[in-house]
Each structure stands twice: as structure tokens, then as C-alpha cells.
Structure 1
């Protein structure tokens, strides 16, 4: 199978405009994401999908591959689908452009189930929640799965809800057995191309979580558990934190 990783990258950002080009130890952040993604053994090719010429030029400058896309895509998945339609790949990996420390092993873990089981249309990752603030935060997306690690539901609310020992969460949040969703996705190419044409759904709009569209339309999502940690960059302060991690590593 041919596996292509696509990194959607927009210049516009409410909290951090131009962050794909933000300097990180002498390189634009998008280059860190690109190079780490290239290290994943299962990935054959990496493409940055962008609607911004400055990002396109920056990727070309460091020797990467970039593709210009339409500027009016409502989601990153639509941007991915536009590029995927031009490829002959079997699997498409969506790696977020604000993950400069993405561990290649996370990509490999998410891809493997789809390499071995052709019936799985989509996959992603989860990691245990050990912090009560994360469990309670609406900014942290939680996921619950069945015994075969297929997603039952994603939510911004605390799930599973610990009815009988809610007061104990602050003392021991691991008792809940909750998992945080890690926003890295793997799609079968044909499924990804059709995905933007699926009608938006009630739960998707209510939670503002696009992956719920797949579940509401009856598609299964494989969710692989990982103990690896990602360090997303949403603000300039997040970028400073990543600089600190690189300096001390």
C-alpha cells in the first residue's frame, strides 16, 4: 500500500497568525512537522497542503513538497480531500501543521490497523487522561471506545461520566479511565474523497467535532491507544514551551 501524509497549513489563525512559518530554532515550524513526519517508516510521501503562497514557497525552499489548494475550504479535511483526489495513494494521513514535535511512532501506530484490515475506513489515536483539569475542560476532546477500540463517541464533555465517584476526580482522575483524543487521522483515500460530501450532522454541529459526522453516518473509526505525548502550538506561548523542550532535550 502507498501511504501519503498530508499536512494542512493555513496562514490565517485567530490566536497565532502565520504560525506555520514561525521560527523554531532557525527553521519554520512547518519544516519541523514535515521532517518528523518523513521519519515515519510507513509513510511514502509527505505533502503540505496550503492556500498561502508564502507557506508554499517556504516548503519548496527547504526541499519539501507542497500543493496549493482552494482558499474557501470550511475544514482541513476538505483541503486534504482536494489533494487526495490528485493522488494514487491507498491511505492518507492527516498530520496537523502545528505539531512540530510529532513522534513518528504515533503516525505508525495510527496507520497499522488500516494496513492490516481493509474494512476500516478511518483511524485516529487516544491517550490516557491523568489530569483532572483536562478531563473537565471543554477544550480537550474526549473519546470512548468499544472492546475492539472502535469509537463510540467523541465529546468536549467529561466522558465517561463517573456518576458514583465524581467528587474523587480531583484526587485521582485516572480512576475514571478517560482518554483524550489525539487529532491525527488516517483515511482510506476513497473514503476521504467522499467525506466532504456527507451531509453535516446534528451531533457534529452541536459538539463542533467533525469526526462525529463519520459516526453518525455509520462509519467505524479505529482508535489506537498511545502513551506518547504531542505538543500542539496554538499560541506564541505554546511555541516558547516547545523551544524550551527542544533546548533541554
Structure 2
């Protein structure tokens, strides 16, 4: 396996709550460039922005980064990541592709490194992240996705058996907040984007269930904390404050 991963950041201008989000200004720098910088700081391989629009690609290239234009009609970030990876690396030099969301300008680069770690096990098709839910209100909150993991106390990586918006699993022990960063084995990514949405995926409105329904193995690395995502103008103000401190 290539000891490096290809990190791909999908980005598009269409956002209902924050139009033009990738180019939103954070201390004189477009948000997508801030995300690209955090991904570069992870130090695990080249970073590519999968841009649905030329203005996003132009902003990244102007900052010294690499970007690939993708079909704006693609239905999901995963499809955008796959298309960009194939265009950037048609020879398949990178066996692992890491999908980092384009609205995480304050993400700790250590989280990006963490999602690469489960891929050391060749049996793993997809890697992701999870953190312990400490707030009781999060357990019942359907916007907080729970990862049902088979993981022993003290272990740092567990196999994902299911993902749900409901409180799960039952019984004593931790409940896990799923963090939507993914590392894909290249073949698994190709397979994933070729699949039709699964019935259970549509019921829970969780894309990762498509992979589980098709028999793919997903392992989750345990990390501390949830990265802050920018979805609204208020989030953008907070991101500016957090990066000012940084």
C-alpha cells in the first residue's frame, strides 16, 4: 500500500443556508483554502480540491493548491471525490482516498491523520471517526448520528455494525457520535459510487449505510471531540473567531 493517502476536499457553491460558502472570507482567505491548509498540515499525502465550479478551483490554485473541476451535476460529495481522484490519479498510485468536508476550516489535522490509521488493516474497506457522547441531550438528538461499534474498552479502533439517528446501542457502555470524515480504499470508493441507494440508507438518510448494506467493512477510529462545521452565517463568525485565536 502507498504509505501516503490522497486527500480530496469536495466543494460546490450551492448552499441553501450560506450561499457561496467555499469562498466565504475568513481572515482574508476563502474558507476552502483554510480547509486545504488544515489538510496539508495533516502531512499524510497530497491534497486536492474537487471543485464543482471554476471560481473555487481558481481560489485554490491562487493559494498554491491543486484543484480538479468536477461535473456540477454530480449527486454527492462522494461522487465528486471519486471523479476528482480518477482525473488526478488515473494510474491508481494512491490506494487510499480520504474525503474531508469542505466546510471544516478549523479542523484539527490530527483528525485527518486518525481516519487514515484504520486503513493499515487490509480487511477494512472504509475508515471513519467516532467520539464518545458525553452530553445526554445528544443521545436523543436525531441530528447527531450514532455509530454502533463493536469495540472493547480501551480499544482505539472498532468495527462499525450500524449507523442511526436513534439512541443506540442499548445497555451499559459508551454511545458514539459519528464524525463524517471517510477514508476509502480506492476499489471500495469505485464500488460505492456505482451502487444504488439502499433502502435502509433512504430510511435513515445516512449514505454510509449503503456501504454496510453491500457488505463493505467500515472501521471507526476513536478520537477526542467533534470538528466544527460551518453551515450558517453565525457559524462563519464563530470560525473567524476560532481561527483568530489559532
- CA contact 2:145–2:177 (8 Å) conserved in 1: yes
Q: Does the CA-based 8 Å contact 2:57-2:69 persist in structure 1?
A: yes
Instruction: Tell whether the 8 Å contact from 2:9 to 2:99 is kept in structure 1 after alignment.
Output: yes
> Residue in 2 aligned with 1:158?
167
| Superposition TM-score, scaled by structure 2 size | 0.91
Aligned to 1:134: 138
- Residue in structure 1 matched with residue 50 of structure 2 by the alignment: 49
1:176 Cα deviation after fit: 5.7
User: How far apart, CA to CA, are the structure 1 residues paired with 2:62 and 2:72?
Assistant: 22
CA distance in 1, matches of 2:167, 2:237: 29
Query: Does 2:97 align with 1:95?
Result: no
Partner Cα distance (2:81, 2:113) in 1? 19
Match of 1:80 in 2: 81
Residue 239 of structure 1: how far off its partner (Å): 1.1
**Equivalent of 2:5 in 3, 6, 11:** 3
The answer (yes or no) to whether the contact 1:106–1:228 under 8 Å persists in 2 is no
Structure 2: state its 5+ residue gaps. 152-156
Residue equivalent to 1:112: 117
Unaligned ranges ≥5, structure 1 = 163-174
Q: How far 1:78 moved relative to its partner? A: 0.8
Deviation of the 1:49 alpha carbon: 0.3
Distance 1:8 1:160, change over 3 A: same
Which of 175, 178, 183 is the equivalent residue of 2:175? Answer: 178
Residue 48 of structure 2 contacts residue 67 of structure 2 at CA under 8 Å; is this kept in 1?
A: yes
Q: What TM-score do the two structures reach when normalised by structure 1?
A: 0.90
The answer to whether the aligner puts 1:217 opposite 2:210 as a matched pair is no
**Counterpart contact for 1:21–1:55, Cα < 8 Å:** yes
Q: How many residues align?
A: 235
Partner of 1:35: 37
Structure 1 residue 210: Cα displacement: 0.5
**In the aligned structure 1, how far is the partner of 2:69 from the partner of 2:137?**
39
User: Deviation per CA, 1:14-65, whole angstroms, max 9, x where unpaired?
Assistant: 11111111011111111110011011132x2101001111111111111110
Q: Does 1:189 align with 2:174?
A: no
C-alpha deviation, 1:139, in angstroms: 1.3
Q: Is the 8 A contact 2:8 2:50 kept in 1?
A: yes
Q: CA deviation at 1:161?
A: 4.1
Deviates more, 1:5-14 or 1:83-92: 83-92
Q: Is the 8 A contact 1:32 1:100 kept in 2?
A: yes
Q: Secondary structure at the match of 2:158?
A: coil
The equivalent of 2:238 in structure 1 is 241
